[in-house]
Amino acid sequence: MTDLDVEAGGAGPSHRSLEVGVAAAMAVVALIGIYGSIAVGIGWAADGPRAGFFPFYVSLIVLIASIVNMVQALLHRVDGAVFASWSQLRQVLSVLIPTIIYVALVPYAGIYVMSGILITFFMAWFGRYPWLIALAVGIAVPVLAFFTFEMWFLVPLPKGPLETMLGY
Amino acid sequence: MLQDIAYLFHGFAVVAQPFNFVLMVVGIVLGVIVGVLPGLGGANGIAILLPLTFSMSPTSAIIMLSCIYWGALFGGAITSILFNIPGEPWSVATTFDGYPMAQKGKAGEALTAAFTSSFVGALFAVIVITLVAPLVASFALEFGPPEIFAVYFLAFCSFVGLSKEPPAKTIASMMLGFGLGAVGLDQMTGQLRLTFGFEQMLNGFDFLIAVIGLFGIGEILLTMEEGLSFRGAAAKLNMKVVLHTWKELPRYWLLSLRSCLIGCWMGISPAGATPASFMSYGIATRMSKRGHLFGTGEIEGVVAPETAAHAAGTSALLPMISLGVPGSPTAAVLLGGLLIWGLQPGPLLFTEQKDFVWGLIASMYMGNLVGLIIVLTCVPLFASILRIPFSVIAPIILVFCAIGAYTVHNNTFDVVMMVVFGVVGYLMKKTNYPLAPMVLAIVLGDKAEEAFRQGLLSSQGSLDVFWSSPLVGTIMALGLIALFWPLISRGISFVRGHEPGPMTAE
């Protein structure tokens, strides 16, 4: 992990392109908002302003502000600043991708099993812990969570085939 | 007034009940842990734990959750001083002098000064709340929809004017929040809007999911990118050092008082604890005789930001309990809690929920005192948490964020939304869009819209209603001043003939 840190500041996507991208994404969201507001009516009905009235103007302001932000980002001189180096982005993805898989599988395998897998995998692969230690933490945390939530606070969490097998 | 004091003592009795007292201690310990860990802060820590309180009485629940907040405020200082890693944004300014002090072997003095100043700042703010909140609430009972909208207007304009981010970014982020808050059922006409036929969007975007995603997941992604490895000074705190530092601290009473006032002002206007700590540090640098030594390990450089941050963090609850307008994202989460427990935030709380309000205020006094004792005695324990490698902490935090997001509505789609918000939060942080106004806008969107539309209804659609009386006109004018404050302050210093200093930039 430490040898990756040294490389920080290497090549990567420019900060400017990210600024423009975020502003563009917001403008798109604003346009969707404007479209949706017009669909339900932005005018004045017998009982006052219609449902789209408020979101329409809010979206309009987002659109204007996004255009300002985009112009400001484009006018900003190119100083070669990167938003993050490729190795840093690889670090971000190395936590984001497992998280996405985790979230996608929770409805099917249950949150406890998936949490155990996530923790074990992360510790063993990313933290280079021995598998046995990783597995121990990976089992201990979900078991602790199970007792805290299901038993003491009576908050049911999503369960999968394993819990059904155990009779919960 | 006298009656309020009677209520306050009643509040102390409520807090001193064994069950509530245990919750208070649990809350503070959890809060310090949350404050120490990267990726977990006051706002998302409380959001994750909120579902655990559904079965409690509102008073017990608010005692526990607000104590998590105090704990998180204390916890931020530990990592700043010992590890040079601000556990919370409001403790960034504490690293400037706190960490150099620790490197010089004066970690004990720095920690004692930080905790004590935090306590002083919080105490000052609680006294302000005790005295002012009931007055504000009784005053606000007279407010109609135009006045209520004007208060929201003032709150959100202050964000734009006082934020150190570019105004267009603050406005974009805030209005995006209002837009997200508007998705789903329209409260006034009962019509569906902006759902585009997706069933999952019927109820709109829950701000708790947004908070957990934006602050929790987003923060973990940022921490991963920075590849933090924690190397810190040893934490030792013995009674001798504490007493020695306490003997020195009264010398800085003027600094403390100034920091308290800055903190309260910034906390009540929703600028929040982070700018308050920077502003207080900046002013202290200029006013202190030893100002040129700041940054090399001056105790004053720890006292100033810590006092202001705690005063701001605490006083952010004043507008929340008296007006229903939270002054910080954490206060917004607490306000969300009130709604879930079936309480209506706003001035009526003081007349209808006396137990709750005064229990909360009493728990602020007790919680900060107990918090001070806990952090002074348990620093080494909390510091050892940071020695656990991030590869262990990160997946565990992810799991608890997911559990927290799921339990809000028992819905796995919310967990997906949490990750989406996490990526959005990461990108917005990287491009300097402030997240706090977005969260507050999601929370207050429906109420602000309702006040706005009801105001317009009474005037048949004319905007004049927001200038129709001296009261509403004054609040709106204050809002406009706050909105254009950067321009105004630049104008003032231009007239005076010198450049605007760093103080106005913060």
Q: What is the tens place of the pLDDT at every residue in B246-304? A: 888 888 888 888 889 888 888 877 666 777 888 888 888 888 888 778 888 888 888 98
- Within-domain flag for B230: no
Region A79-83 average pLDDT: 73
- Test B224 with A99 for CB contact under 8 angstroms: no
Closest Cβ opposite residue B406 in set A29, A66, A111: A111
Closest Cβ opposite residue A95 in set B171, B394, B433: B394
Q: Is the pLDDT of residue A152 over 90?
A: no
Region B156-174 average pLDDT: 85
- Test B225 with A92 for CB contact under 8 angstroms: yes
**Furthest-apart CA atoms within chain A: distance in Å:** 70
Assigned token pair, A135: 């597995």
Helix (H) / strand (E) containing B362: helix B354-385
How far apart CA B451 and CA B124 sit, in angstroms, is 33
Mean pLDDT check: name the lowest of A4-8, A10-14, B238-242.
A4-8
The nearest alpha carbon in chain B to A43 belongs to B461
- Test B407 with A37 for CB contact under 8 angstroms: no
Q: What percentage of chain B has pLDDT greater than the value 90?
A: 14
How far apart CA B20 and CA A64 sit, in angstroms, is 49
Region B94-106 average pLDDT: 85
Q: Is B192 helix (H, G, I), strand (E, B) or coil?
A: strand
Q: What is the pLDDT of residue B230?
A: 55
- Within-domain flag for B117: yes
Residue B190, classified by CB atoms within 10 Å of its CB into exposed (0-12), middle (13-18) or buried (19+), is exposed
Q: What is the pLDDT of residue B231?
A: 57
Q: What percentage of chain B has pLDDT greater than the value 70?
A: 94
For B129, the domain range is 2-221+235-505
Distance from CA of A120 to the nearest CA of B (A): 9
pTM for the model stands at 0.84
Chain B residue numbers touching A85 (CB-CB < 8 A): none
Please provide residue A49's backbone torsions phi and psi, each rounded to the nearest 5 degrees. Answer: -60, 145
- Within-domain flag for B95: yes
- Test B179 with A55 for CB contact under 8 angstroms: yes
Closest Cβ opposite residue A99 in set B179, B391, B419: B419
Q: Is the pLDDT of residue B235 over 70?
A: no
Distance from CA of B310 to the nearest CA of A (A): 31
Assigned token pair, B264: 């309260």
Residue indicated by tokens 């004066």:
B106
Q: What percentage of chain A has pLDDT greater than the value 70?
A: 92
The nearest alpha carbon in chain A to B178 belongs to A58
Distance from CA of B352 to the nearest CA of A (A): 29
Q: Is the pLDDT of residue B319 over 50?
A: yes
Distance from CA of A139 to the nearest CA of B (A): 12
Q: What is the pLDDT of residue B229?
A: 59
pLDDT in tens, B357-387: 888 899 899 999 999 999 888 888 887 877 7
- Test B182 with A18 for CB contact under 8 angstroms: no
Between A80 and B3, the higher pLDDT residue = B3
Q: Predicted confidence band at A5 (pLDDT cuts at 50, 70, 90)?
A: very low
Chain A residue numbers touching B400 (CB-CB < 8 A): 145
Contact status of A29 with chain B (Cβ, < 8 Å):
yes
- Distant-in-sequence, close-in-space partners of B422: CB < 8 Å, separation ≥ 6: A99, B213, B214, B216, B217, B218, B220, B221
- Test B403 with A145 for CB contact under 8 angstroms: yes
Size of interface A-B (CB pairs under 8 A): 188
DSSP character for B271?
T
- Within-domain flag for B163: yes
Region B86-110 average pLDDT: 81
Which among A110-124, B199-213, B330-344, B380-394 has the top mean pLDDT? Answer: A110-124
Q: Is the pLDDT of residue B354 over 80?
A: yes
Chain B residue numbers touching A104 (CB-CB < 8 A): 416
With vertex at residue B456, the alpha carbon angle to CA B339 and CA B340, rounded to the nearest 5 degrees, is: 5
Q: Is B185 helix (H, G, I), strand (E, B) or coil?
A: strand
Q: What is the pLDDT of residue A79?
A: 67
Q: What is the pLDDT of residue B421?
A: 94
- Within-domain flag for B229: no
Task: Choose the mutation target among A3, A20, A26, A129 for the interface with B, i.e. most B CBs under 10 Å.
Answer: A26
Strands A44-45 and B184-185: unpaired
pLDDT in tens, B435-487: 888 888 888 888 888 888 888 888 877 888 888 888 888 889 888 888 888 78
Q: What is the pLDDT of residue A9?
A: 47
Q: Indicate the number of domains in chain B.
A: 1
Contact status of A149 with chain B (Cβ, < 8 Å):
yes
Average pLDDT, chain B: 84
How far apart CA B15 and CA B19 sit, in angstroms, is 9
Distance from CA of B182 to the nearest CA of A (A): 6
Closest Cβ opposite residue B415 in set A94, A106, A122: A106
- Within-domain flag for B227: no
Task: Choose the mutation target among A2, A38, A58 for the interface with B, i.e. most B CBs under 10 Å.
Answer: A58
Q: Predicted confidence band at B22 (pLDDT cuts at 50, 70, 90)?
A: very high
Find out whether B313 and B260 touch, Cβ atoms under 8 Å: no
- Test B192 with A66 for CB contact under 8 angstroms: no
Q: How far is CA B60 from CA A27, B161, B351, in A?
A: 44, 37, 19
Residue indicated by tokens 């079936």:
B342
- Other CB atoms within a 10 A radius of the CB of residue B202 amount to 11
Distance from CA of A165 to the nearest CA of B (A): 21
Alpha helices in A76-166 (DSSP H): 86-109, 111-121, 131-146, 161-166
Burial call B46-73: b when 16+ CB within 10 Å, e when fewer:
bbbbbbbbeebbbbbbbbbbbbbbbbbb
Mean pLDDT check: name the lowest of A113-117, B30-34, B151-155.
B151-155
- Test A1 with B52 for CB contact under 8 angstroms: no
Region B161-181 average pLDDT: 87
> Nearest to residue B337, comparing CAs of B63, B36, B34, B2?
B63
Assigned token pair, B207: 């701000």
Q: Predicted confidence band at B236 (pLDDT cuts at 50, 70, 90)?
A: low
Q: Is the pLDDT of residue B104 over 80?
A: yes
Q: What is the pLDDT of residue B313?
A: 86
Find out whether B399 and A115 touch, Cβ atoms under 8 Å: yes
DSSP character for A126?
I
Assigned token pair, B476: 């709106």
Burial call B491-503: b when 16+ CB within 10 Å, e when fewer:
eeeeeeeeeeeee
Task: Choose the mutation target among A38, A67, A103 for the interface with B, i.e. most B CBs under 10 Å.
Answer: A103
Closest Cβ opposite residue A59 in set B179, B189, B428: B179
> Nearest to residue B69, comparing CAs of B345, B451, B333, B389?
B333
Region A42-66 average pLDDT: 87
Q: Is B91 helix (H, G, I), strand (E, B) or coil?
A: helix
Assigned token pair, B46: 């409380």
- Test B229 with A5 for CB contact under 8 angstroms: yes
Between A168 and B94, the higher pLDDT residue = B94
- Within-domain flag for B291: yes
> Nearest to residue B383, comparing CAs of B27, B86, B36?
B36
Q: Is the pLDDT of residue A59 over 90?
A: yes
Region B401-424 average pLDDT: 91
- Within-domain flag for B479: yes
DSSP character for B215?
I
| Positive or negative: CA dihedral A119, B231, B215, B47 | positive
Chain A residue numbers touching B394 (CB-CB < 8 A): 95, 122
Amino acid (1-letter code) at residue A63: L
How far apart CA B118 and CA B128 sit, in angstroms, is 15
Contact status of A115 with chain B (Cβ, < 8 Å):
yes
How far apart CA A81 and CA B30 sit, in angstroms, is 39
Residue B195, classified by CB atoms within 10 Å of its CB into exposed (0-12), middle (13-18) or buried (19+), is middle
Between B408 and B177, the higher pLDDT residue = B177
Q: Is the pLDDT of residue A64 over 90?
A: yes
Q: Predicted confidence band at B234 (pLDDT cuts at 50, 70, 90)?
A: low
Region B106-126 average pLDDT: 90
Average pLDDT, chain A: 85
Q: How far is CA B347 from CA B152, B255, B322, B428, B441, in A?
A: 14, 34, 5, 34, 20
Q: What is the pLDDT of residue B504?
A: 40
